[in-house]
């Protein structure tokens, strides 16, 4: 389920995970649940108990301090369930298993739970590992955006983990945003992703080290509801800056607002405070994708997709720019129905260009939809999609590990990338699980 609904989410949580989460949550002490009920009735009982607290907030007999405390605990309950919902996918589960690869208790607990229950169990009992995976996937989701850059620095550096030193790093980063109205408040989170050598090993090394910095942003006015009453408040939204360093290769990725100048400044501060040496960053330009190879459409390809476990590949969306006029673009979108023409076919008909189409228009971006074959005879056919841009960025790394591999093979078959070429780090540590 893509849309979050706490009542629906809890219906998929069985025992003992449901009770473990409820009892350990700050709201649990306020809930009265009969855990002797049949398992199929427990989720409804928890939801009713939560609903009872929400109704209690409207009571005139409730003292203001108690109303505020209950309201705060309810918000934490909703937020924790939402976070678990967002991490209930195969990509997150792969991260959880990787983080817990030497944790026998956790691996045993995860073995017989589905994706939703795994996410909720990790949030309950391994909150640091849950947060690290959350930060990693949030970073990956932004690596196709305009605030992301990649450089190469010295490899084998050992970043400082001292909290006081990291705070100094944060404070200097905050100064970069002073002109935008940022305040003095800062917060930093340090996380590591571990990989092993071989199937069973206790010689753990960090595959990557991530530092996420939150800076107190400028004063912002927000309209919201508090205890069912509409009001406006002023607050300071956190400005997020993050970097990920890969010790083995020396590659470092940064997500920084303010342009190339701020990216360079953050790297200098990273060298000064975190690794205590002068860095010589070298910009890594993303490999451009040959999207013009897709301009003829994908409906009638002779490629044997069955070998890839794929039934059909289509362009769901396409952005075309006249050659030499990047300020002008045409966006074409079509139905996800695999029987309908794809976006390039619609573009060729709509733009009324035939022989000169290749010379006049470049395909700058596309959404590729892949219709997969059923895994078994009784199974259902599925599909997934991803965005890819001629500039060299994509959203492939947001797919599940299996679909990442399929996406790469599809792009190789379509001559968008060369066989064996790096895919802008879209496929990273897929073998961890």
Residue 336 to residue 367: CA distance in whole angstroms: 11
Residue with tokens 């998929």: 12
Q: Domain residues for 268?
A: 142-283
Q: How confident is the model at residue 202 (pLDDT cuts 50, 70, 90)?
A: very low
pLDDT in tens, 372-407: 888 766 777 788 999 988 888 888 888 888 888 888
The confidence band for 204, taking pLDDT boundaries of 50, 70 and 90, is: low
Q: What mean pLDDT comes out for the span 178-182? A: 87
Do 122 and 81 share a structural domain?
yes
**212 or 302: which carries more pLDDT confidence?**
212
Asked, for residue 133, whether it belongs to a domain, the answer is no
Q: Say whether both 340 and 398 belong to one domain.
A: yes
What token pair was written down for 368?
Answer: 């590729």
Cα separation of 104 and 263, whole Å?
Answer: 40
| Distances 243 to 132, 149, 156, 323 between C-alpha atoms, Å | 13, 10, 16, 35
Residue 423 has pLDDT above 60, yes or no: no
Q: Output the DSSP codes for 308-338.
A: GTEEEEEEEEEEEEETT-TT--EEEE--S-T
Render 123-171 in DSSP notation, one character per residue: HHH-HHHHHHHHHHHHHHHTTTSTTEEEEE--SS------HHHHHHHHH
Higher pLDDT, 219 or 21: 21
Average pLDDT over residues 83-99: 92
Write down which residue in 283, 311, 332 finishes a domain. 283
pLDDT at site 359? 47
Q: What is the mean pLDDT of residues 285-302?
A: 70
If asked whether residues 390 and 325 sit together in one domain, one would say yes
Residue 396 corresponds to which tokens in the numbers above? 């492939």
Mark whether 46 and 146 lie in a shared domain: no
Question: Do both 316 and 423 map to the same domain?
Answer: yes
**Candidate from 223-237, 251-265, 303-317, 354-368 with smallest mean pLDDT:** 354-368
Residue whose token pair is 């934490």? 76
Count CB atoms within 10 A of the CB of residue 391. Answer: 16
Does residue 10 sit within a domain? yes
CA–CA gap between residue 80 and residue 131 (Å, rounded): 11
Mean pLDDT value across residues 252-272: 93
Place of tokens 């449901």: 18
- The last residue of one of the domains, among 126, 150, 173, is 126
d(CA 267, CA 285): 17
Does residue 135 belong to any structural domain of this protein? no
Taking all residues of the chain, what is their mean pLDDT, rounded to a whole number? Answer: 85
* pLDDT surpassing 80 at residue 297: no
Q: Are residues 168 and 227 in the same domain?
A: yes
Query: Looking at residues 105-117, what average pLDDT do you find?
Result: 94
| Whether pTM exceeds 0.75 | yes
Question: What percent of the chain is modeled with pLDDT above 90?
Answer: 46
- Examine the domain organization and report whether 407 and 355 are in the same domain: yes
Give the contacts of 35 (CB within 8 A, at least 6 positions apart). 19, 42
The encoded tokens of residue 360 equal 């006049």
pLDDT at res. 191: 93
**Residues 275 and 363 reside in one and the same domain:** no
Q: Among 308, 276, 266, 288, which Cα is nearest to 363's?
A: 288
Residues of the chain with pLDDT > 70, as a percent, come to 88
Structural domains of the chain, count: 3
Window from 37-46, 75-84, 250-259, 352-361 with minimum mean pLDDT: 352-361
Q: How confident is the model at residue 304 (pLDDT cuts 50, 70, 90)?
A: low
Q: What is the pLDDT of residues 63-84, one digit of tens each?
A: 889 989 999 999 999 999 999 9
pLDDT at 308: 75
Within this chain, do residues 230 and 121 fall inside the same structural domain, yes or no?
A: no
Answer yes or no: do 167 and 243 share one domain.
Answer: yes
- Amino acid 276: pLDDT: 92
Confidence at residue 245, expressed as pLDDT on a 0 to 100 scale:
96
- Tens of pLDDT along 213-236? 999 988 888 888 876 778 888 888
Is residue 335 domain-shared with residue 241, that is, in the same domain?
no
**Residue range 356-383: average pLDDT?**
76
Give the DSSP letter string of 50-75. Answer: HHHHHHHTT-TTS-HHHHHHHHHHHH
In a domain, 383, yes or no: yes
Domain boundary (77, 94, 126) is at: 126
Residues 6+ apart with CB under 8 A from 241: 173, 212, 213, 215, 254, 255, 256, 257, 266
Both 162 and 278 in one domain: the answer is: yes
The answer as to whether 134 is a domain residue is no
137 found inside a domain:
no
**Section 23-51 average pLDDT:** 94
* 136 found inside a domain: no
Residue 132, domain member (yes or no): no
pLDDT digits (tens, 9 = 90+) for 325-346: 666 777 888 888 878 888 877 8
Is 378 exposed, middle or buried, given 0-12, 13-18 or 19+ CB atoms closer than 10 A?
Answer: exposed
């Amino acid at each position: 389920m893509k849309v979050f609904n706490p009542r629906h989410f809890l219906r998929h949580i069985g025992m003992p995970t449901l009770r473990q989460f409820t009892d350990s949550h700050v709201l649990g002490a306020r809930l009265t649940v009969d855990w002797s009920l049949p398992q199929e009735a427990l989720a409804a009982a928890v939801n009713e108990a939560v609903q009872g607290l929400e109704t209690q907030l409207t009571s005139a007999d409730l003292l203001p301090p108690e109303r505020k405390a209950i309201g705060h605990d309810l918000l934490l309950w909703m937020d924790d369930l939402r976070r678990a919902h967002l991490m209930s996918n195969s990509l997150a589960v792969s991260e959880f298993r990787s983080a817990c690869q030497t944790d026998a208790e956790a691996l045993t607990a995860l073995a017989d739970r589905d994706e939703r229950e795994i996410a909720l169990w990790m949030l309950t009992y391994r909150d640091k590992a849950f947060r690290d995976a959350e930060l990693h996937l949030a970073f990956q989701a932004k690596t196709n955006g305009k605030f992301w850059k990649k450089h190469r620095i010295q490899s084998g550096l050992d970043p400082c983990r001292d909290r006081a030193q990291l705070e100094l790093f944060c404070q200097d980063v905050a100064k970069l945003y002073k002109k935008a109205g940022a305040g003095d408040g800062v917060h930093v989170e340090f996380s590591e992703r571990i990989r092993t050598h071989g199937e069973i090993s206790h010689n753990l090394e960090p595959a990557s080290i991530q530092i996420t910095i939150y800076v107190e942003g400028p004063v912002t006015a927000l309209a919201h509801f508090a205890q069912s009453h509409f009001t406006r408040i002023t607050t300071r939204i956190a400005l997020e800056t993050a970097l990920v360093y890969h010790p083995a290769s020396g590659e470092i990725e940064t997500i920084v607002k303010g342009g190339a100048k701020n990216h360079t400044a953050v790297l200098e501060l990273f060298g000064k405070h975190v690794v205590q040496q002068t860095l010589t960053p070298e910009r890594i330009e993303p490999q451009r994708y040959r999207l013009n190879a897709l301009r003829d459409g994908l409906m009638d390809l002779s490629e044997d997709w069955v070998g890839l476990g794929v039934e059909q590949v289509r362009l769901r969306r396409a952005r075309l720019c006249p050659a030499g006029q990047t300020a002008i673009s045409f966006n074409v979108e079509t139905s996800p129905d695999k029987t309908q023409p794809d976006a390039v076919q619609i573009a060729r008909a709509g733009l009324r260009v035939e022989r000169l189409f290749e010379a006049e228009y470049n395909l700058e971006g596309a959404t590729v939809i892949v219709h997969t074959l059923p895994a078994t005879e009784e199974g259902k056919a599925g599909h997934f999609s991803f965005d890819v841009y001629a500039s060299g960025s994509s959203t492939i790394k947001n797919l599940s590990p299996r679909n990442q591999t399929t996406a790469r093979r599809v792009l190789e078959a379509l001559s968008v990338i060369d066989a064996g070429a790096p895919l802008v780090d879209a496929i990273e540590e897929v073998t961890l699980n």
